[in-house]
Amino acid sequence: MTEIHNSNWKLRKGQIIAAKQMTATEKWFDIKLDDGDLDHEPGQFVQVELYGVGEAPISVCSSPTKRGSFELTVRSAGRLTKHMHGMGKGDWLGIRGPFGKPFPVKLMTGNDLLFVAGGLGIAPLRSLINYVMDNRREFGKVDILLGCKTPTDMLFGDEIKDWQKRLDVNFSCTVDRTAPDWKGNVGLITSLIPGVTINPEKTFGVVVGPPIMYKFVIAELLKKNLPERQIILSLERHMKCGMGKCGHCQIDHPKNYYCCKDGPTFTYEEVKESKKL
Amino acid sequence: MNYHILMKGELDMFVKKLSKKMKVYAPVAKGFSNFAFEEVSSAGEIAMEYIPTILPPKKYFMPPREKMLDFDLTEGKPKDTANLDAEKLAVFAVHTCDLAGIQCLNMVFSERPRDYNYLLRKENIFIIGLECLKYCDGNASCALVGNHYPNGGYDLFFTDIGDKYVIHVNTQKGEELVEGMGLAKASSADMAALDRAREAKKHTFQNEIGVDPKKLPEIFAKGVESPVWKSVGDRCISCGNCTNVCPTCYCFDMADTVNLDMKTGFRTRTWDSCQVEPFATVAGGENFREERSARQRHRYFRKFKYSVDKFYRSFCTGCGRCTRTCMAKINLKETLTSLAAESK
């Protein structure tokens, strides 16, 4: 028997230091690692191991500018996430990562930014939005467009109120289905794009949402003459290993992309020929 | 160049001496033209003439089920350790197609982040190849991918030249073994016999589909929307046999098991198959390769297109196992022939 000290399957140990139910299906966790900072970049993900249950890839929703702990927002969608919703402050879990190619923050410096988030897409995008907020003077105009199913599905409500108040950010949101006390926009997120002024030469559009959303949002951005390589997406796949080996997250032709290693962030130019985004 | 000789009558001595040093696994006849790599201790148990085994020697490098991590939850904060029990062993009489398969896996698992379980197992495995002088059966396509001749990947390599084997010694470990057994050096007559055997193979083995292998990646690039995939998908029953028997399929799944004490447990890696329906499904239900045709196309692309782009080599070794094992008679040579015909 040999012990493999440098095994990439070994887990970092994280303790939940705060947790909050955000909506009926989403729960937020603040996690502190016992070996220091996660040391991630906006757009990366971690593998969360619930001992005895298994592992799942979850996007980090906090910015690396926040030190000491990192945050995850988890939708109860499968066996592991359902179990995780039963966990709270003081509970331990295993963490591998961070994994994946982050959003190209260096390339974005000096440019205008248009963030488009649909549903839970706000979670990975929040790691970048908060990074930009904390380094606000490095970037040009910032627009945030947010879409969700109903007003009660809206995540990070307190922060959204702050974005709405800030003068250095243009924020708008829309819901698919309204509620009695909702005074905002009703309709799909695509309906917000025509109202945004874009300088295509110096704007990055960052789009994160469910697969169905990409096709329509990208079409709107292309109408605004945004170049394909300035449209950045974060794709969802089942990354089981995070190391470009297990095969589950491989994206269909024409390229040999593993979502966990070559992504999850891609330019539209890189993945436009794929059947499903 | 270092070549030695083993008389066929001495094969039993060779296997016995080798099995004293380490466990020896070799092809064994299982009836109905099926063969399997199993532990042997004498030459009599070995099928020196065999068609590719049911499972390739991949099973020794990446076991079908393998423990990757032990964990202990006795105290509040979990503990884990990665232990590996990799015995020293020899695989004997490995055909050139399967040597190529191991070389493919070596590339995959040594790419960073590295897979130390695989790499440590590999270090403990002594590989002895065996040359094919004729086709195993009509399902092979080794000449198409250039694997009918040895391209390295072994410690020792046996070629039958009549009443004896010429052994090519490729590594220091191999040298020590043959020297230790006192095997004679090959004479110039033996070398001439080896050359003749190799020369004869040029006629025996011919590109099986008559398509330039260098053109295959381009043919695949053009054939993304080919009706071939629908035809293959219509027949496929998503059993995953083709990927399980493939010497270069390495996709896997991970799972946790809790011991009966409810305090300790382990994580295992198991072979998985891109052909099974939930393989590319995410929580929430979205399946990124829902159609059988898309999954079959994916399998072929991983052998002939993606691997060539990434590793500069075909991940089809030409062994023919996927065709032999397919219950729906999906035939690799036919698929390639149809695809190539379309792109003309």
CA quadruple B178, B179, B183, B184: dihedral sign: positive
User: What ipTM was reported for this prediction?
Assistant: 0.91
- Report the domain count for chain A: 2
Is residue A81 domain-shared with residue A188, that is, in the same domain? no
B41: which residues sit within 8 A by CB, 6+ positions away?
B15, B16, B19, B24
Is residue A116 domain-shared with residue A79, that is, in the same domain? no
Cβ A52–B73 below 8 Å, yes or no? Answer: yes
Cβ B251–A247 below 8 Å, yes or no? Answer: yes
**Amino acid type, B95:** H
Is residue A90 domain-shared with residue A144, that is, in the same domain? no
pLDDT tens, residue by residue, B1-44 = 599 999 999 999 999 999 999 999 999 999 999 999 999 999 99
| DSSP for residue A197 | -
pTM greater than the 0.90 cutoff: yes
Phi-psi region of A110 (alpha: psi -120 to 50; beta: other; left: phi over 0): left
Single out the residue in A71, A98, A125 at which a domain terminates.
Answer: A98
Is residue A149 domain-shared with residue A72, that is, in the same domain? no
Is residue A114 domain-shared with residue A216, that is, in the same domain? yes
State which residue of chain A sits closest to B264, comparing Cα positions.
A52
The interface residues of chain A toward chain B in range 229-258, judged by CB-CB distance below 8 A, are 236-238, 240-241, 243-256
3-state secondary structure chain B: CCEEEEEHHHHHHHHHHHHHHCEEEEEEEEECCEEEEEEECCHHHCCCCCCCCCCCCHHHHCCCEEEEEEEECCCCCCEEECEECCCCEEEEEECHHHHHHHHHHHHHHHCCCCCHHHHHHHHCEEEEEECCCCCCCCCCCCCCCCCCCCCCCCCEEEEECCCEEEEEECCHHHHHHHHHHCCCECCHHHHHHHHHHHHHHHHHCCCCCCCCHHHHHHHHHHCCCCHHHHHHHHHCCCCCHHHHHCCCCCCEEEEEEECCCCCEEEEEEEECCCCCHHHHECCCCCECCCCHHHHHHHHHHHHHCHHHHHHCCCCCCCCCHHHHHCCCCCCHHHHHHHHHHHCC
Single out the residue in A63, A98, A133 at which a domain terminates.
Answer: A98
Is residue A116 domain-shared with residue A226, that is, in the same domain? yes
Tell me, yes or no, if A59 comes closer than 8 A to chain B by beta carbon: no
Cβ B250–A245 below 8 Å, yes or no? Answer: yes
pLDDT tens, residue by residue, B257-314 = 999 999 999 999 999 999 999 999 998 889 999 999 999 999 999 999 999 999 999 9
For residue A3, give the nearest of B81, B267, B289 by CB distance.
B81
Is residue A134 domain-shared with residue A220, that is, in the same domain? yes
Residue B234: pLDDT over 90: yes
Is residue A114 domain-shared with residue A204, that is, in the same domain? yes
Cβ B69–A75 below 8 Å, yes or no? Answer: no
Q: Per DSSP, what are the bridge partners of residue B268? A: B67, B255
* pLDDT at position B87: 92
In a mutagenesis test of the A interface, which of B254, B261, B270, B276 is the best target, namely the one with the most A β-carbons within 10 Å?
B254
Please report whether residue A153 resides in a domain.
Answer: yes
The interface residues of chain A toward chain B in range 177-196, judged by CB-CB distance below 8 A, are none
User: Which residues in chain A have Cβ-Cβ distances shorter than 8 Å to B256?
Assistant: 49, 51-55
- CATH code of the domain covering residue A209: 3.40.50.80
Is residue A55 domain-shared with residue A173, that is, in the same domain? no
Is residue A121 domain-shared with residue A84, that is, in the same domain? no
The Cβ of residue B258 has, within 10 Å, a number of other Cβ atoms equal to 15
In angstroms, rounded to a whole number, what is the distance separating the alpha carbons of residues B49 and B132?
Answer: 9
Phi and psi at residue B238, in whole multiples of 5°?
Answer: 55, 40
Domain that holds residue A189: 105-234
- CATH code of the domain covering residue A30: 2.40.30.10
Residue B132: pLDDT over 80: yes
* pLDDT at position B211: 95
User: Which residues in chain B have Cβ-Cβ distances shorter than 8 Å to A56?
Assistant: 283
Please report whether residue A262 resides in a domain.
Answer: no
Please report whether residue A4 resides in a domain.
Answer: no
| DSSP for residue A58 | E
Is residue A133 domain-shared with residue A159, that is, in the same domain? yes
* pLDDT at position B1: 57
User: Which residues in chain A have Cβ-Cβ distances shorter than 8 Å to B302?
Assistant: 250
Cβ A246–B272 below 8 Å, yes or no? Answer: yes
pLDDT along chain A (277 residues), means of 10: 94 98 96 97 98 96 97 95 97 97 97 96 97 97 95 92 93 92 90 94 96 93 96 95 95 86 96 85
Is residue A72 domain-shared with residue A149, that is, in the same domain? no
* pLDDT at position A160: 93
Domain ranges of chain B: 3-62+79-204, 213-342
Single out the residue in A41, A71, A98 at which a domain terminates.
Answer: A98
Both ends of chain A: CA-CA distance in Å? 44
